[in-house]
Amino acid sequence: MPGPDLNLLVVLDVLLAEGSVAGAARRLRLSPSAMSRSLARLREATGDPLLVRAGRGLVPTPRAIELRGQVGRVVQDGEAILRPAGTLDLGRLVRTFTLRTSEGFVETFGPDLVARAAGEAPGVRLHFLQKPDRDSAPLRDGTVDLETGVVGKATGPEVRAQALFRDRFIGVVRMGHALCRGAVTPARYAAGRHVLVSRRGLVEGPVDEALKPFGLAREIATIVGGFSTALALARASDLIASVPERHTGGLRAGMHAFPLPVPVPEITVSLLWHPRLDADPAHRWLRGCVRDVCATRS
């Protein structure tokens, strides 16, 4: 009895990534009819429709979502096995890496990372982009090489993640603010006027949840989309900003920071990349540089 056609794994990986028969056909340089036949064979092999019609597009079934990460890893591992081994020559490496990071990461860790890369691979250029959301599409389509951030529900199931460091939220005010003097109690903290950071425009966050058991609620005077904006407002007013400590180390110079008087869960900042770059020697080197820089500045 003949075994399964393993070429179908590559087809399935591309179909699940594209979510479109026509898109998958273009990517694999096949005709739409050939791709449709391959999808029919995959449905027969798995006993599942995999992609079903929804309006003008296709959506994955629960079985397809379950398979997506597993199939991607199998295909990437197979490509790595068949790729010729090579020795990375950092001195001759010429490449631009695009990194998408949350606010504060570049200011805090960027100088050391740029210096490390320049010292080891002068031909490497680092292109930093701001990260307005947690959508994994830029990693998936290859427009971004690396990301930093907190793994969440919006993170693609196939995305690789490696923890860089833990971070805690702290309060930050301008020098001379009333909270610079004396103990910062939950009541004193809540009584001030606050700037809330929310990329989605939410009116509450983890700090507000932590205040509720104390019967307290803080006054949110303004809502902004990033830590640097929150700190700029706090620096020039009596507003209180609550931001991650390590992430904003390069943004808080000349300001007064204090531990929050209520227990707010810590966050884990991770390094994120697409599995197709797992075995790439240059990408592996860059991941090591980021890990080392973050560990050094702990």
Residues 157 and 288 in one domain: yes
Confidence of residue 298 (pLDDT cuts 50, 70, 90): low
Residues 128 and 197 in one domain: no
pLDDT for residue 3: 64
% of the chain exceeding 90 in pLDDT: 49
| Within-domain flag for 1 | no
**Above 80 in pLDDT, residue 69?**
no
pLDDT for residue 166: 92
For residue 74, how many other CB atoms are within 10 A of its CB? 16
Which tokens in the block code for residue 113? 């990372």
Q: Check residues 121 and 54 and name the one with the higher pLDDT.
A: 121
Tens digit of pLDDT for each residue in 173-204? 999 999 999 999 999 999 999 999 987 777 88
pLDDT for residue 141: 83
pLDDT for residue 181: 95
pLDDT for residue 223: 94
Residues 133 and 275 in one domain: yes
Which tokens in the block code for residue 78? 């197979």
CATH number at residue 241: 3.40.190.10
Q: Check residues 215 and 142 and name the one with the higher pLDDT.
A: 215
pLDDT for residue 83: 64
Q: Last residue of a domain, which of 19, 50, 82?
A: 82
- Residue 11: half-sphere exposure toward Cβ, Cα within 13 Å: 24
Nearest alpha-carbon partner for 8 in 31, 40, 32: 40
- Residue 295: half-sphere exposure toward Cβ, Cα within 13 Å: 8
% of the chain exceeding 70 in pLDDT: 96
| Within-domain flag for 119 | yes
State the average pLDDT over residues 258-284: 92
Residues 127 and 257 in one domain: no
| pTM for the structure as a whole | 0.66
Residues 132 and 142 in one domain: yes
The kind and range of the H/E element at 130 are strand 124-130
| Within-domain flag for 2 | no
| Within-domain flag for 70 | yes
Number of folded domains that form the chain: 3
Tens digit of pLDDT for each residue in 17-46? 888 888 888 888 889 898 899 889 989 888
Residue 297 burial by CB count (10 A; 0-12/13-18/19+): exposed, middle or buried?
A: middle
The 3-state secondary structure of 163-200, one letter per residue: EEEEECEEEEEECCCHHHCCCCCHHHHHHCEEEEECCC
State the average pLDDT over residues 246-257: 90
Q: Domain containing 22: what range?
A: 7-82
The mean pLDDT of the chain is 88
Q: Residues 235, 255: contact at Cβ < 8 Å?
A: yes
- Residue 147: half-sphere exposure toward Cβ, Cα within 13 Å: 27
